[in-house]
Amino acid sequence: MLNRSYNYNNFSLMHPRDQLAEIMLRIYDYIMTTTSGGNLSLLDSDGDMWITPAGVDKGTLVPDDMVCVTKDGKIIGRHKPSSEYPFHQTIYQKNSHVKAILHAHPPALAAFSVVRQIPNTLVIPQAADVCGKVGIAKYATPGTQELADNITESLNDGYDIVMLENHGVVAIGPDLLTAFQSFETLDFCARIIIKAKSLGAEITTLTEEQMTLFNQPRNALPEFEIEFHTNRELELRKEICKFTRRAYDQRLMTSTEGTFSARIDDASFLMTPYGIDRKYLNVEDVVLIKDKKREKGKIPSRSVLLHDSIYKAHPEICAITTAQPPNIMAYGITNTELDTRTVPENYILLRSIPLLKYGIEFTDGVAPILSKRTPVVIFQNDAILATGPSILKAFDRLEVAERAAQTVLYSLSIGKIVPLNKEQVDDLEKNFPVV
């Protein structure tokens, strides 16, 4: 088994074979490739290409399975290189800025490739920036020079990700982690759109004006130097890391998106950082916010001021999480409210979930809406925000909300939904009062 203790800060210091094994296992673990499908490569500082092998189980790859194809064509390793390595070579030869390539066919992106469409990355605000420009390449037989030429032709048009007709997707990057993050984010967009289609409502996308609003600086806080660490702070740092990784593993967050914060006292709270892979989050990455100042040398998540305003208005709230899980976001991009009156647990834990207009999350207008009866809200085309008296409770609400949305989406494909009636809801209110 691979050592899974790597974090974003030292990923680039891993040997190429370790990077390839780590990222391929991430892709396989999250069901974005199969035992025999997909391939990765990267160029090292000597100009040699390291690539995943042909015919080796993707779920059990280890670093020693990786193959090196030197710049003069010599193949080093105990396996043959991937059968797709010709298109990897061609891309590197014709695109000097490319240092890593990822090819896979996760079901959602494969579905888009079959209907020959491109997922719209403007359904959520950060996706367009993470993914870059997305294009499509004509179909060609896998492993052929024709496929390599078709992909390269699309890349020459300035695309960062290329959908392959009836095949899958190719993502490029200056390093392997960047290529993975763009690929993962595009897959999230594809899954959100597919799930949204089942609601039968019009899918909304963000306008240029809305994107400008999102991209405005919102966390330019002054710095302060930490003098000492309290036991509560140290414990909460550990909890934030644990639940952030857990949310990532449950596909509630992506590697580049998803936030947890936790109140320390009336003047300070901890928050996940901006720009660090959620899977590799460590306690030293978490940012302390105190009196609207940030821990020296660290940048908090974009929503820092939103969380700060909520803590100031609600002393009973001690933890907040924001995320973009695909089932919930199906509602967020179709302007459809999620009915929690399906399963008792859903209603007990969530009550009703208001769907708020995009942009309110950039103001002080969210805090007045939250209450003990309204601990969770959804922002149109942005995210879900869940609160609680603890990190565990906030996470639980995030998790239950995503499963509640998933339940409804499943139900729609079976028959007519029968929600709990007024008498049944009143009974839940009586036996499970809001405290």
Enumerate the H helices of 15-84 as residue ranges.
Answer: 16-29
Burial class (CB in 10 A: 0-12, 13-18, 19+), 250: middle
**Which residue reads 């500082």 in tokens?**
45
Nearest to 101 by CA among 58, 62, 148, 59: 148
Burial class (CB in 10 A: 0-12, 13-18, 19+), 338: buried
381: left (phi over 0), alpha (psi -120 to 50) or beta: left
Task: Judge whether 153 counts as a catalytic residue.
Answer: no
Question: Please, which residues have CB within 8 angstroms of residue 219's CB and are 6 or more apart in sequence?
Answer: 274, 294, 299, 300, 301, 302, 304, 305
CB atoms within 10 A of CB 217: 6
Q: Which of 22, 84, 257, 361 is catalytic?
A: 84
Secondary structure of residue 109 in the 3-state scheme: helix
Dihedral pair phi/psi, residue 41, rounded to 5°: -155, 165
Cite the active site residues.
84
